[in-house]
Structure 1
Amino acid sequence: MGLKFYLTCFAFLFIAPKITNAQYYGLCFTGHETIQEKRTGLDLSAADPLCFNNTFELSFDFSFMTGHTDYFGYIFRIVDQEKRNIDLIYDKSLEAKNHLKLVIGDKMSNIEFDIKLDKLFKNWYNIKLKFDQENQELILTADGKVYREKIPLKKNCYRISFGANNYKEHEVKDVPPMKIKEIKITEDDKLTHHWPLNEYTGLIATEKIKGKNAGVINPNWIRKMHIEWELVKSANVAGSASVAFDADREQVFVVTEKSLQTYDVKTEKTSIVDYKSGLQPMLYGNQSIYQNEPGLLNFYVDFSLMSGFNFSNNTWNSKYTGENVPTNFWHLNKFYSSADNSLYFIGGYGHYNYKRDVQRYHFKDKKLSTVKTSGDFTPRYLAALGATKNGAYILGGYGSTTGQQILNPKNLYDLSFYDVEHKTFKKLFELNPGEEEFAFANSLVIDEKEQSYYALTFVNHIFNSSLAMIKGSLKNPSYEFVGSRIPYTFHDISSFADLYYCKVSKKFVAVLLYYDQKANTSSVKIYTLHAPPEIQQAAHNIPSHFRVNWDMVISGVILLVIMYLVYKRIQNRKTLHVSSVKEQAINIQEPEPVNIKQEITDIPDDIRNTMFLFGDLQLFDRKGKDITKLFTPVIKELFLLILLFTIRWGRGVSSEKLEEILWADKSVGSARNNRSVSIAKLKLLLESMDSCEVSKETGYWKMLIDYDKIRIDYKEYLNIVKSKTDITKIKIMALTKIVSRGGFLSNAEYSWLDPLKYEISNEIIDTYLHMAASMKISDDPEFLISLADCVFNFDPVNEEAMAIKCQALVFLGKHSLAKSIFENFNKEYKAIYAESFNKTFQEILG
Structure 2
Amino acid sequence: MKMKVPFLLILFFISDAVRAQDALWSGLYFSSYEVIKDKRTSLNLTADEAFDLSNGFTLTFDANFRSGDGYYGYVFRMIDTKNNIDLVSNLGADSVNFWLILKDTTLISYQWKDIPNGGFDQWMKVEFHVDPHNAQISLSLNNHKQVKTFDGQLDLSHLNIVFGACNYTSFLNSDVAPMTLKDVRLYDDKQKLYRHWKLYRHGEQNVYDEVAHAPAEVLNPSWLIDRHTQWRHRKRIMFNNLIGVAQNKATGEIFFADDEVLYSYSTDSDKLDTLKYLGGTPFHCLNNHIFYYAYSNELWSYDFNKNYVNRFDFASRKWSESDTSCAEPDLWHHNRFISPYDSSLITFGGYGHYTYKSIFNRFHPQKELWEKLDVSKKISPRYLSGIGFLDKSNVLIFGGYGSKSGRQELSPEFYYDLYTVDIEKLSVDKRWSAKNTSGFVPCNDLLFDSTSGKFLTLLYNSNYFDTSLKLVSFGLDAPEKQVFGDSIPYKFLDTKSWCNLYMNKTKSELIAVTVYNSEMNLYSLACPPLLAREVYQEGNLLNSRSKLWILISLSSITILMLSIFWNRRKKKRTALSSPSQTTPVASYDVAFNSQKPAEDQKRSAFYLFAGFQVFDKSGQVITSHFTPTLKELFLLIFLNSFKNGKGVSSQILNETLWFDKSGDSARNNRNVNMSKLRPLLEGVGCIELSKEGTFWKINLQQELYCDYIEVMYLLKKIQQSTELPVNEIHRVIAIASVGKLLPDVQNEWIDVFKEDFSNLLIEVFLLLAERIYEKEPDYDLLYSMAKCLLKHDSINDEAIAIKCSALYNSGKKGQAKHAYDSFCLEYRNLMGTDFDISFQELLKRLDARWSLLS
Matched residue type, 1:439? V
- Structure 1 residue 155 and structure 2 residue 155: aligned? yes
Aligned-pair CA distance for 1:265: 2.3
Matched residue type, 2:320? N
| Aligned equivalents of 1:72, 1:337: Cα separation in 2 | 56
Aligned-pair CA distance for 1:327: 0.8
- Structure 1 residue 44 and structure 2 residue 47: aligned? no
Q: Which residue of 2 aligns with 1:448?
A: 450
Question: Aligned-residue CA RMSD in angstroms?
Answer: 4.8
Matched residue type, 2:528? P
- Note the 1:150-229 alignment, pairs <5 A: 154-156=154-156, 157-163=158-164, 173=175, 175-180=177-182, 197=199, 213-217=216-220, 219-229=221-231
Q: Which residue of 2 aligns with 1:524?
A: 520
| Aligned equivalents of 2:241, 2:109: Cα separation in 1 | 63
- Structure 1 residue 417 and structure 2 residue 416: aligned? no
| Aligned equivalents of 1:234, 1:189: Cα separation in 2 | 51
Q: Secondary structure at the match of 2:521?
A: strand
| Aligned equivalents of 2:100, 2:293: Cα separation in 1 | 50
Q: Which residue of 2 aligns with 1:429?
A: 432
Matched residue type, 1:133? P
User: Is the 2:75–2:86 contact (alpha carbons within 8 Å) kept by the matching residues of 1?
Assistant: no
Q: Which residue of 1 aligns with 2:130?
A: 131
Alpha carbons of structure 1 residues 295 and 546: separation in structure 2 relative to 1, 3 Å: farther
Aligned-pair CA distance for 1:526: 1.5
Q: Which residue of 2 aligns with 1:478?
A: 480
Q: Which residue of 1 aligns with 2:268?
A: 266
Q: Secondary structure at the match of 2:531?
A: coil
Alpha carbons of structure 1 residues 277 and 164: separation in structure 2 relative to 1, 3 Å: farther
Q: Which residue of 1 aligns with 2:345?
A: 343
Query: Cα deviation per residue 1:367-392 (whole Å; 9 max; x = unaligned)?
Result: 32225779832222111111242232
Aligned-pair CA distance for 1:473: 2.6
Aligned-pair CA distance for 1:443: 0.7
Provide structure 1 residue ranges, at least 5 long, that are not aligned to the other structure. 1-19, 516-521, 557-846
Q: Secondary structure at the match of 1:483?
A: strand
Aligned-pair CA distance for 1:334: 0.8
| Aligned equivalents of 2:322, 2:753: Cα separation in 1 | 55
Q: Which residue of 1 aligns with 2:258?
A: 256
Q: Which residue of 2 aligns with 1:510?
A: 512
- Structure 1 residue 397 and structure 2 residue 400: aligned? yes
- Note the 1:797-836 alignment, pairs <5 A: none
User: Is the 2:69–2:178 contact (alpha carbons within 8 Å) kept by the matching residues of 1?
Assistant: no
Alpha carbons of structure 1 residues 551 and 131: separation in structure 2 relative to 1, 3 Å: farther
Aligned-pair CA distance for 1:309: 2.3
User: Is the 1:22–1:534 contact (alpha carbons within 8 Å) kept by the matching residues of 2?
Assistant: no
Q: Which residue of 1 aligns with 2:85?
A: 85
Query: Cα deviation per residue 1:608-642 (whole Å; 9 max; x = unaligned)?
Result: xxxxxxxxxxxxxxxxxxxxxxxxxxxxxxxxxxx
Aligned-pair CA distance for 1:54: 1.8
Q: Which residue of 1 aligns with 2:493?
A: 491
Alpha carbons of structure 1 residues 314 and 187: separation in structure 2 relative to 1, 3 Å: same
- Note the 1:451-600 alignment, pairs <5 A: 451-515=453-517, 522-536=518-532, 537-540=652-655, 541-542=658-659, 545=749, 548=752
| Aligned equivalents of 2:504, 2:397: Cα separation in 1 | 21
Matched residue type, 2:527? A
User: Is the 1:337–1:343 contact (alpha carbons within 8 Å) kept by the matching residues of 2?
Assistant: yes
Alpha carbons of structure 1 residues 37 and 504: separation in structure 2 relative to 1, 3 Å: farther
Higher relative contact order (CA 8 A, sep 6+): 2
Aligned-pair CA distance for 1:480: 0.4
Q: Secondary structure at the match of 2:448?
A: strand
User: Is the 1:480–1:545 contact (alpha carbons within 8 Å) kept by the matching residues of 2?
Assistant: no
User: Is the 2:355–2:408 contact (alpha carbons within 8 Å) kept by the matching residues of 1?
Assistant: yes
| Aligned equivalents of 1:147, 1:554: Cα separation in 2 | 70
- Structure 1 residue 355 and structure 2 residue 357: aligned? yes
Alpha carbons of structure 1 residues 59 and 107: separation in structure 2 relative to 1, 3 Å: closer
Aligned-pair CA distance for 1:440: 0.8
Matched residue type, 1:531? C
Q: Secondary structure at the match of 1:493?
A: coil
User: Is the 1:65–1:178 contact (alpha carbons within 8 Å) kept by the matching residues of 2?
Assistant: yes
Alpha carbons of structure 1 residues 258 and 538: separation in structure 2 relative to 1, 3 Å: farther
| Aligned equivalents of 1:375, 1:141: Cα separation in 2 | 72
Alpha carbons of structure 1 residues 364 and 303: separation in structure 2 relative to 1, 3 Å: closer
Alpha carbons of structure 1 residues 154 and 46: separation in structure 2 relative to 1, 3 Å: closer
Matched residue type, 2:130? F
Aligned-pair CA distance for 1:259: 1.9
| Aligned equivalents of 2:354, 2:196: Cα separation in 1 | 62
TM-score by length of 1: 0.53
Q: Which residue of 2 aligns with 1:325?
A: 327
User: Is the 2:42–2:165 contact (alpha carbons within 8 Å) kept by the matching residues of 1?
Assistant: yes
Matched residue type, 1:389? K
User: Is the 2:78–2:86 contact (alpha carbons within 8 Å) kept by the matching residues of 1?
Assistant: yes
Q: How many residues align?
A: 525
- Structure 1 residue 316 and structure 2 residue 314: aligned? no
Matched residue type, 2:162? S
User: Is the 1:205–1:214 contact (alpha carbons within 8 Å) kept by the matching residues of 2?
Assistant: yes
- Note the 1:74-113 alignment, pairs <5 A: 75-78=75-78, 80=80, 83-87=83-87, 105-108=105-108
Matched residue type, 2:234? V
Alpha carbons of structure 1 residues 276 and 447: separation in structure 2 relative to 1, 3 Å: same
| Aligned equivalents of 1:288, 1:95: Cα separation in 2 | 54
| Aligned equivalents of 1:125, 1:115: Cα separation in 2 | 9
Q: Which residue of 1 aligns with 2:410?
A: 407
Aligned-pair CA distance for 1:145: 10
User: Is the 2:199–2:207 contact (alpha carbons within 8 Å) kept by the matching residues of 1?
Assistant: yes
User: Is the 1:197–1:205 contact (alpha carbons within 8 Å) kept by the matching residues of 2?
Assistant: yes
Aligned-pair CA distance for 1:365: 3.2
Query: Cα deviation per residue 1:697-737 (whole Å; 9 max; x = unaligned)?
Result: xxxxxxxxxxxxxxxxxxxxxxxxxxxxxxxxxxxxxxxxx
User: Is the 1:43–1:215 contact (alpha carbons within 8 Å) kept by the matching residues of 2?
Assistant: yes
Query: Cα deviation per residue 1:462-506 (whole Å; 9 max; x = unaligned)?
Result: 222221110223344322001312222222232211111112222
Aligned-pair CA distance for 1:457: 0.6
User: Is the 2:233–2:522 contact (alpha carbons within 8 Å) kept by the matching residues of 1?
Assistant: yes
Greater shift, 362-371 or 442-451, is seen at: 362-371
Q: Secondary structure at the match of 2:309?
A: strand
- Note the 1:682-697 alignment, pairs <5 A: none
Greater shift, 377-386 or 56-65, is seen at: 56-65
User: Is the 1:74–1:176 contact (alpha carbons within 8 Å) kept by the matching residues of 2?
Assistant: no
| Aligned equivalents of 2:185, 2:759: Cα separation in 1 | 40
User: Is the 1:41–1:164 contact (alpha carbons within 8 Å) kept by the matching residues of 2?
Assistant: yes
Alpha carbons of structure 1 residues 374 and 330: separation in structure 2 relative to 1, 3 Å: closer
Q: Secondary structure at the match of 2:443?
A: strand
Q: Which residue of 2 aligns with 1:294?
A: 297
Aligned-pair CA distance for 1:268: 2.8
Q: Which residue of 2 aligns with 1:381?
A: 383
Aligned-pair CA distance for 1:236: 2.7
Alpha carbons of structure 1 residues 94 and 314: separation in structure 2 relative to 1, 3 Å: farther
